[in-house]
Structures are given as structure tokens and as C-alpha cells.
Structure 1
């Protein structure tokens, strides 16, 4: 393994520190012994939260698919990169999220596709207390309360059912003596058992459990119940969507709006940028996140497939604009192009978006001001801006398959004629604005004890509209 370490006392120089990892464990007599992996390995054994070798293979392959689509087929991203100034890379604090991002990036831009002077890419991170790249139960009190309420509802709904009886007919003999029955709220919980089964199945014979754990009907029932426990809230509650994933989708919408109406989302106005003078238009963002992130996004947009996201699942949020060419009519044959943020010849000091001015030294520059369009309600936009939003289109692809958002498909003016998976940015923002928090940290402390749907059920609303 290689990590960065200071190579002198005053921390003025940093170098890669290469090392080997072994793991220790308790032996049969409580003595310290060298831990051995499933295949007899004694080095590089994964700790909790780390990405397995199989995970590294599949995330690298994801990066290769991204390269094939966006570089080779569409020519949207360059074949060779000299820096990542036109990219936004971000990961959660969980090790496997960062490792997944690194593997996917290397799959998309291997060493042969990077110049010799390619600098270390910037990867954006957040404090755990402000992390929005996954539903943050640990740091959002009201969301934690809602998650428990939906889990309790799932326990009442499923614990005494034919499905749970079938699950117990197979698995109860494997449960601990103090908790002999599988249930939504058992110890271990049904969702945890489901995770274990999925993980062992994904890694082949060396980690497989007895064959009855992989019974088809068993797994179908367990997935159905776990999905209801964890993700039903996104389909039913505006507050659940707002506190669970609204801040993240609000950021995504803000950046697309900046691209459409304000000259672009640029690296010098982003944490991903390395220079305030040599910034570039950001064309591609990639985040290392979690299954709960993906399910929250799909559920909040009314596009949940009702399945638990498989390992190495991905969501692509793509922004298109109509190609600048004459056309005979508004139909699905009209060419769309993935929008490349234009270069800014002269930085503006005002208007909808004010670019940062100041020193080119990234270590001493002041933080850039936020876009004036950030979190701005749709009704506040002038007509020219709304018209621009209506000429840009958002498409969601889940595991490479386009997703249909009900609110976009419901009205002809909300989507591209002939293909309702292309949602106008105007309609997409209108949907997301309904569950974008104005102040996530404050709203996490509100409505405590207000029940599943808030006072008078005012938070009860179907997602996707």
C-alpha cells in the first residue's frame, strides 16, 4: 500500500510511503495470531469499510465503461488529460467510497491516457457532520428519527407475514440462541443478513455460505422487506427526501443551472479547482458514494425500481442542450449534445454569477463566492433564464439504462418530444426544488417528535412530481 507521509520534520516535503499490511486476531486460546483470509492470504486483508479486490475490479471496469462512452464514442471528454481541472471528484469519508472513486478514475484515465506532468488530482471531501453524499442519519437528528419510524413501520408490516415465515423456515436455525427468529428488528437485523448474503455471493466460492442462504424466493422476500424498511420514505415523504438526499440533488441542480444560464460551473469557483487564474469549465463530476445514495436519488425522483442497488451500481446525471442547427420540427430526431461549459473570455463582476477575483496562489486565495443562482427558487428567474432552462435537458441513467421521471413524463412541455426520459432542466429543477432544504443543518433539528409525516401529515407526498 502507498500513503503520503511527511519526509522531514517541518512538513515541507511529502512523499509516498509504501508499506505492507498484516492483520492480527484472537486465536483459540485468546492469544494473538496472524489473521488469514478466505483464500489463505496473510497480507492485505480488508478491514471494515475497505474495498475488496473484487470491488476494485468492478469499479475499474466502471471507469472503462465511462471512458468508452464519454471519450471514445461521444468525444465529450478528451482522450489524454494533463490535469483534472475540468473534473469534480468527490468521495465520502468511508474508505471504500474513496477507493471506488480512485479505481473508476483510473479506469477512465489510465496511465497511458495521462501526460507525464499530470499533477495529483483534487478529490473533494466534507466533514462527516456536513456530509450530504449519503443520507446522514448520524448527523441529522430528525432524519435519524424518521428512519427509525419507517423501520418500525416495516417491522409491524412484515414481521408476522407469510414472507417472514418462509424466511425463518430456512434461516432460523442459523440465528443466535438469544434471537432465534429473523425479523426486521431482530439481532442481527434482516437487512444486515441480506447484506451478508449479497456480499458472500459476490465474492465466489471462498466466501459462500451454505446453499440454503441463496434460495431464490428467500432472497426475493428479504430484498423486498429491506427495501421497504430503508427506502420507502423517499417515495412517501417530502421531509424524508429533503433531509436524506435533498442537499445533494440541490447542489447538482445548482451546477446545471449555472451551466445553462450563467456561463458555466467553473473550477476556480469550486473546491475541486487548483488555481484561481487557470480555471476551466467543469464538464464531468464523479463521486464515490453508496447504495443508500443511489436508492435515495431514484426514490426521491419517483424512479425507484423497488430493488436494492447491486454492487458497483452507478447513476449518471447528464445535461444536454439542443445542438445549434436548423431543424424541421420538435421531435426525437432533433440532435442533442452533452453541454460543454463555454470558456469565459471576460470574467464578470456581477449578474447571476460572480466569479472570484484574487491571487493565483491556491493556498492563500479567499474562498470563491457562491453562485447567485444557488438555491434560488424557479419563480425568481427572469424569462430569458427560464427559456434557457427549457432548452436544456436532464437525463438520468441507472446502471446504463435511462430512467423515466413521472413529473417529467406527465406533461409534453416537460420533456423532449418523442422521448420522455429527457426532462427539461426547468421541469427537473421544479421537481427537485420541492425537496431541497433551505438550511439542512437547521431543518435537521426541526419537527422532532412530529411523527412519520409531520404535523397534520403535511409532509406526505408522492415522489417524482
Structure 2
């Protein structure tokens, strides 16, 4: 059967003004408007990845006494009500595109949601799902509440190689340091913005501010910009300076994932998992599963985009989403994910840029590289240079510096064993004192244990 994969980018409600978005998000190809609803007749499987919504700053500017931690009641690095609304609207957009495919009601066998182990991503997933699956009257546990609980799964960040891009990996960390310490591109950007960085260091009190650490200035100022009704910029800030900071921040962020080593060790594990799941679906091993969704971070999106060979001008914004669709149209498996070949063959990527703030339009961006369609096998071959055979070994993790990793696994194992013991005792007691039960009842629904 002919299966194609469409790869596209969604930009839902944005808190940035148009001057910060226009002409800066996609820098390749001419966008064309496409239909907003997916073709449910040919669609077979979707994998969706979004960034969390608007959050409070993760770090503060030392000299900015008017915007201290006490001015952010949610705490640092936490989802705001603005971010909840962004994710809810993204969920409504997903409902508009995939509602016919997924069905009107939540089905645990059809969809699985995984989040990184952060409050803001877990809460973003819940807000998104509230928009995606509003309960019908029969699904409401309280008629006054238009919400239903939907499970969101996670793993400890210490072992999350797919969604936690800052997980300890010495090889990747050395490669990134080498980029900022000596690569021609980084040195050029550093020289071009030397006066800006010195000015910001003087005003913020951040000693020896460099291109690699510009995010520490951007993060706090961006939060203040997004919440300007309650938080004002320092007196030395203005719109022109903000434009320059955004530009340098984006330049710096793009450098963090652009080498083959970083693509392999930071984005590779997630790409491996996604392609493996498509293969399982193709082989009929996930018959009822229709969608797999990830709730994660800007770095997660940037890493997977880079691994596919996509380097947007803007670093992923709040509530930005990537979706990969698999369609069946014949007897062979094809993918429509295009990227430029870099010694590993070509693969096709079709990108769609959507800004819900401006309406329901979705824009497709053709990328140079490989004409559509490209087979799933071809994409897997093209991505093989970025698929680590043994992530821990390639990261250079020794027994000493894998201690935290192993401790996390040990704790997880002991927790699982404890829960298993409790469950076994519970089952023993139930069988010892059985209750009457319907002959039609059973422990598990068909395929309920599929949890990939």
C-alpha cells in the first residue's frame, strides 16, 4: 500500500507582534495555502509534537529589581494562564484538523500522550486535551464542568533521552561548547554583536555575557514583554533593542543543534522512536492507534527539526507544533518529508505554517532536496546516520558519570516492583474473597496494553 508522510509546522496563537514573526519563521521556499482538515479517508497515523505554552521566566536579570521572583506568583519556569489559553486553542485547531479521523470521543486505544517531566509541559498537555476532547454530556462526571481527565504519561527527566534535550551527554556538550568557542559562524556572530553583548552585560549585571548565554537575557525580557500589563521592561530597554536581542538569540539557538553529532545525540533518539512507530503501524502492530502526541520544549522541536535538516529562522515559539502524517494511497509506502541531502540521501519535508491568531489558514512550505513522494524506507535510510546504536556509549558516559542515570533507573525499578507487589496482594485478596461479577467483564480491553 502507498503511504506518504507529511511533515508540517503549526504556529498557533502567538504573543509576539507581527514584526517579530513576519519573514523570520521559515526562510526556504514559497508558502502556499492548503486545506485545514486532514484527509481522513487516506490518513492512517499522526505523530504530533508541541512546545508548551507561555511561561514565567526561568531565570531573572540580577539588576532588574522591579521584576523579582515575588512578582511571578506561579513561580519561575511555570505555565501561565496565557499559556493555558494558547494550548487550549491549539487543541481546538487539532480537533478541527483531525476530529473526523480521531472521532468525537476520547479513545484510550486510539491516542497516547507523553510529556516531559516538567509542570509546564504536563499542564500544557492537559490544556491542549481540554480543547481537543471536550466531553459530551455522557462523558461529564459533573454537568457543570466541561472537562474530562485524560491520561498524560511521563518518565523522569534523568532518563528521558527523547524529550529532555539537556540530559547529560558529554560528547554532545563538548561539541556544543566547541561550536560557541571556535566555530567560524559563532565567532562571526559574536564579533558582529560585541557592543550589544557588552551593553547588555553592563545593564543586566550578568558578567562576561556571551553568545552562548544570551538566552539568560532574552528569557526574562521575553516574559516581561509577554506580560507587559503587569511587568515593565527596565528603563534601558526599548523596542529597537528588543529586536536586536531576539535576532541574536535566534542566531545563537540555531547553532545548538546544527552539527551531525548534535543531530544524532540530541534529536536522533526521538526521530528513531517516531520512525520506529511508523514502521510498527505499517506492519499492522498498532491497528487501533491513530495518534501519538508529545508535549515538550522549544529545544525538543529545534532538535528534531535539525535532525530532519530544517533550520527555521525563528527558534520555536510558544505552543508551536510539528505534525507528521502517514497516508495510504496504494501498494507502496512513501514519505513526504523533504530535506536537503547531507551525505545521507534526500528526504522530503513538507512544512505548513499556521498562525491561528490570523485565522484558520495553514501554509505549506516546500523544501529543497527530494521530490515528493519519498518512501518510508528511503527516509529511514536517510536518517540512519542520526540514529545512535548505543546512546549512552556514544555520549561517553562512564560508570562514574552514569551514576545518576542508573540511580534513576533503580528508583524507577523499585517503584515498579513495589506497585507490582501491592497489585499482587490486592489480586490475591480479591480471589480469596471473590465478588460476583458479570460474565462479560474482563481485565483488559483489546490492545489496551499497547503503550508505544
Once residues 427 and 214 of structure 1 are traced to their aligned partners in structure 2, the CA distance between those partners, rounded to angstroms, is: 49
Partner of 1:9: none
Aligned partner of residue 145 in structure 1, secondary structure: helix
* Residue 437, structure 1, aligned to residue 353, structure 2: no
Question: In the superposition, relative to structure 1, how do residues 57 and 121 fare at CA in structure 2: closer, same or farther (>3 Å)?
Answer: closer
8 Å CA contact 1:224, 1:306 repeated in 2: no
Partner of 1:121: 150
Partner of 2:293: 286
Aligned partner of residue 316 in structure 1, secondary structure: strand
Partner of 2:126: 102
Match of 1:425 among 363, 366, 376: 376
1:32-111 matches, cutoff 5 A = 37=71, 45-71=73-99, 75-81=100-106, 83-111=107-135
* Residue 245, structure 1, aligned to residue 267, structure 2: yes
**Higher RCO, Cα 8 Å, sep 6+:** 2
Aligned partner of residue 327 in structure 2, secondary structure: strand
Partner of 1:197: 221
Q: CA RMSD in A?
A: 3.1
Deviations 1:92-128 (A, max 9, x none): 0111011111111111112338724898533222232
8 Å CA contact 1:91, 1:97 repeated in 2: yes
Partner of 2:446: none
Once residues 208 and 153 of structure 1 are traced to their aligned partners in structure 2, the CA distance between those partners, rounded to angstroms, is: 37
Once residues 128 and 317 of structure 1 are traced to their aligned partners in structure 2, the CA distance between those partners, rounded to angstroms, is: 24
1:259-338 matches, cutoff 5 A = 259-260=281-282, 262-265=283-286, 281-322=288-329
Match of 1:209 among 233, 241, 247: 233
* Residue 227, structure 1, aligned to residue 257, structure 2: no
Once residues 132 and 392 of structure 1 are traced to their aligned partners in structure 2, the CA distance between those partners, rounded to angstroms, is: 26
Shift of 1:250: 0.7
Match of 2:173 among 144, 148, 152: 144
Once residues 296 and 136 of structure 1 are traced to their aligned partners in structure 2, the CA distance between those partners, rounded to angstroms, is: 8
Deviations 1:109-161 (A, max 9, x none): 12338724898533222232321333533322212222222232379615753
8 Å CA contact 2:117, 2:155 repeated in 1: yes
Provide structure 1 residue ranges, at least 5 long, that are not aligned to the other structure.
Answer: 1-34, 39-44, 267-280, 325-386, 417-422, 448-465
* Structure with higher helix content: 2
TM-score with structure 1 setting the length: 0.58
Match of 1:402 among 334, 351, 364: 364
Aligned length: 306
8 Å CA contact 1:256, 1:265 repeated in 2: no
Partner of 1:389: 333
Provide structure 2 residue ranges, at least 5 long, that are not aligned to the other structure.
Answer: 1-68, 142-146, 338-348, 355-361, 399-452
Aligned partner of residue 293 in structure 2, secondary structure: strand
Shift of 1:244: 0.4
Deviations 1:380-412 (A, max 9, x none): xxxxxxx73237877554555435454xx43x4
Partner of 2:210: 183
Once residues 52 and 220 of structure 1 are traced to their aligned partners in structure 2, the CA distance between those partners, rounded to angstroms, is: 24
